[in-house]
Structure 1
């Protein structure tokens, strides 16, 4: 979440996950230690969301 620009700090990202506001491909992220890997991609992209209005599409691969 920090590297995608959805949170300024790791602490902010953890609070977002604890509060249920972080999503990976429209599914709520419940584990604050979860790593996002290439296997999480759908059609070569990963969608990250913070709250209802902040979304980032991360392209995977070359």
Structure 2
């Protein structure tokens, strides 16, 4: 059976799902940044580590 779908009629939860997907994407990016920072931390000076942490924190807001 074939049914026609009106692309202008979206389910009421479409916006919620879109927002959740965007949040998941943002959190995955942040997690990748934290993992990279952990890998790099032994070779960074205290100042470099602090700068990277501050940059990461500012992007998290």
- TM-score, normalised to structure 2, is 0.24
Structure in which a larger fraction of residues adopt strand: 1
Structure in which a larger fraction of residues adopt helix: 2
Larger Rg computed on CA atoms: 2
- TM-score, normalised to structure 1, is 0.24
